[in-house]
Chain A
Amino acid sequence: MFGYVFKRSLQSLVAVAGLLVLVFFLSRLTGDPAYLYLPLDSTEAQRQAFNELHGFDDPLYIQFGRYLADLLHFDFGTALSRNRPAMEVALEAFPETLKLAAIAMTLSLVLAIVVGALAATKPGGIFDRLATTISLAGASAPDFWVAIVAILFFSVSLGLLPTSGTGTPLHWIMPIGVLMLRPFGLLTQVVRGSMMGVLTSPYIKTAQAKGVRRTKIVFVHALRNALLPVITVAGDLAASLINGAVVVETIFGWPGIGKLMIDAIVRRDFALVQATVLITAIAIFFLNIVIDLVYAALDPRIRHQTA
């Protein structure tokens, strides 16, 4: 097991390193930052002075060398637009995204497993149809639209919830609700499909013949086998949430990393782009390890293969 994790870690490390190189050069391909930092009516001399001051006039390989040297000291550069160390800004925002993603993902997963499994026990039944309709609608509804309508309804018309921001527990309700729509919808579909397959397999029939209780068959015997594809999809969805729930962060004014990353790109704040990408890459790297471990725990074939 340890060897397996070690091997995966090495692979991910190479991937993260490659990503950093890529982001460094790609972000600099977008053009001269002086044009975005300085006002439009700045003079050429002012732009040149800006580039000299921040080393943007040096050849790319020199800039890259400097970046690597700084990385070795854990210096991630200054977020020029914020007047602050880039990593400090990124680390402030990331936990906000992580909290939101963790809660939304856990709730979606639990809800999807229950609803999907129940729907699969009686395909074509009323509950199945209802669950399918709701989950498909959830998976395909445009989240920015749902978010705005929810604010107009719950905050403006009913005055029940705060429109946006953070602070009280009530502030969490709408962002999490909107964020759950897609994962819940997709996962319900996956659980349902996978469960339907498993429920027709011979070992379930055996269990039924032995007179095992129905709920026990579904949630203990069948679920364990049905979960593998669910974990794969859930892992993907979780990774995209960790990357920042940009729409939800933007509309609800949630101070997360998705919005920060977009702002950094738009403002050509190279150091901040690099720092935010690095943080999310590392987080996704850990997420992948966790997913692998869950796989191994669920599927003895993987466990024994790697042992």
Chain B
Amino acid sequence: MRIKPVCLAGGMVLALAASLSAAGAEEITIVLPEQPANLEPCRSIRADIGRVINMNITETLTIIEPETAQVTPHLAESWEQVDDKTWRFKLREGVSFQDGAPFNAEAVVKSINRLMNPKLTCDSRSKFGDVTLTPKAVDEGTVEIVSDIPIPIMPTLMGTVQIVSPNMPFDQEVNKPVGTGPYELEAADNEHIVLVRRDDYWGEAPEVTKATYRWRSESAIRAAMVESGETDLTPAIAVQDATNPETDFAYLNSETTRMRIDAQIAPLDDIRVREALNLAIDWDGMGEALFGTDVLRASQMVVPGVLGHNPDIKPWPYDPERAKALIEEARADGVPVDTEITIIGRNGFFPNASESLEAMQALWQEIGLNVTIREMEAADWVRYLDKPFPEGRGPTLFQQQHDNNTGDAGFTVPVMYTSEGQYSTIADKDLDQVITKAMSSTGEEREKLFQEAFRVVHDEIIADVPMYHMIGYVRVGPRLDWTPDLKTNSEIRLAEIKFKQ
């Protein structure tokens, strides 16, 4: 009788050892920073959802290559622009959905209509603004998409539309996505989500046969879980937890931070003051201290690789003497440089966001400006993000983090810098024209025009204080052969994960 508890304890240790040792040879576990709120494919531009389902369960007609912004074929084999409001996509043959339904033009039409269905709250719809799309099946393998205004980057936008099985409920959001991808959903509950490889995938069979997702919000815990071998991979760990160069990789996470300048309100309406704001910051020191050595200094609000990024713009240097001189010059000309300027921050925005505000406040005060900080909850902060801005707010510097992972500056420039732009604090007729022209052109001309817009914004108007292209860190267990890229924040393609020999 006495032996029993010992046996039990021994058994428990064995069971634990089994559960601790990483899963079977081709099975992996991934621990995410948060539980996906739901698994609805039409909401999958949200990172929590997209990381699990994008390109694993559901796929898209096109793919945007993260490093080059090239749009490449996926479920569509080719496409052409019929007229300025009509695009025609030729679909891949021999593809089927996980539920057996054939992938064809009807399915694509239904997926697009489902995304646009006003009865569903589809996050991914925001990429299209208020555009109305009318998709039409020309034949089994051809889809024509007509929009009410010209959309020159339709193939890019189709990279965000997840194609779902026609059997999925049309008028109801669901948590059981069915797509054409190499994995299907096996289980989803409060503690984990399991994807298993399907046998009849149209493309090359991936190495990973089964992926189990768990979630822990604490970065230190997730890092520990990979270290102890409990799990194979975790994205988005904090810089202070990325301590092991063997397993921890830095990657540009496609987020760019800035301080938007209220350029219509004195003293910020004076260009010398705006230039001084940029010159006053010790960019290298602050970046290294708060965001890690891998952080990239930004000169514009899109990362290198996005179509329209202008590599010729030089970021402002750290030159406090010149900044002071500019402020004094402005003061001498009667600019009210002593007016209190308010920094608007957002609680828990990104790691060390508050610290960066405090650092900038101190440096701006050193050049003779009068700066205070107000940090707000997200919902309050949004009031300052969007037009109409709050009345009587005084001059503000607004902290913003912007993610452009769609590969085209068209998702950044109009909203930030046109007179009508939702986030815009500037109004410049000439710039408006350049941007409008860029939005309706394609290819090289589009790139040139957006580059010109970024140059004007940075060199001539000084609309903001660009901060950094932000860095994320992943920890990857020793079994896996995988490196993160620009898209890691929004999707983790299981098919790209290989095992080390």
Contacts and interface: CB of A to CB of B under 8 A. Distances in A.
Contact of A169 (B12, B173, B174, B224): B12
A41 B160 CA distance: 15
Interface string B91-134: 00000000000000000000000000011010101110110000
A162 B190 contact: no
A253 B214 contact: yes
A262 B380 CA distance: 18
A255 B193 CA distance: 13
Contacts of B228: 155-156, 159, 163
Contacts of B119: 53
B220 A82 contact: no
Nearest to A32: B379
Interface size class of A (residues with CB under 8 A): 35 or more
Interface string B29-41: 0000001011010
B35 to A, nearest CB: 8
Contacts of A40: 382, 385
A35 B123 contact: no
Contacts of A155: 224, 228, 230
B191 interface: yes
B15 interface: yes
A45 interface: yes
Interface in A158-210: 159, 161-170
B218 A43 contact: no
A1 to B, nearest CB: 40
B217 A250 contact: yes
B218 A250 contact: yes
A11 interface: no
Contacts of A35: 379, 382
Contacts of B129: 43
Contact of A41 (B46, B218, B422): B422
A253 B16 contact: no
A267 interface: yes
B37 A30 contact: no
B126 A162 contact: no
A151 interface: yes
Contacts of B40: 83
Contacts of B118: 49, 53
B224 A42 contact: no
Given A36-B379, A92-B190, A162-B19, A42 B126 contact: yes
A267 B34 CA distance: 13
B37 to A, nearest CB: 4
B126 A38 contact: yes
A162 B16 contact: yes
A152 B121 contact: no
Contacts of B214: 165, 253
A84 B127 CA distance: 26
B379 A30 contact: yes
Given A31-B379, A40-B385, A168-B16, 6 more contacts: A31-B380, A45-B130, A83-B173, A148-B221, A163-B224, A163-B230
Interface of A: 30-32, 35-43, 45-46, 49-50, 53, 80-84, 92-93, 96, 148, 151-152, 155-156, 159, 161-170, 250-251, 253, 255, 263, 267-268
Closest 7 CB pairs of A and B: A255-B190, A31-B379, A42-B126, A83-B38, A39-B126, A81-B37, A83-B173
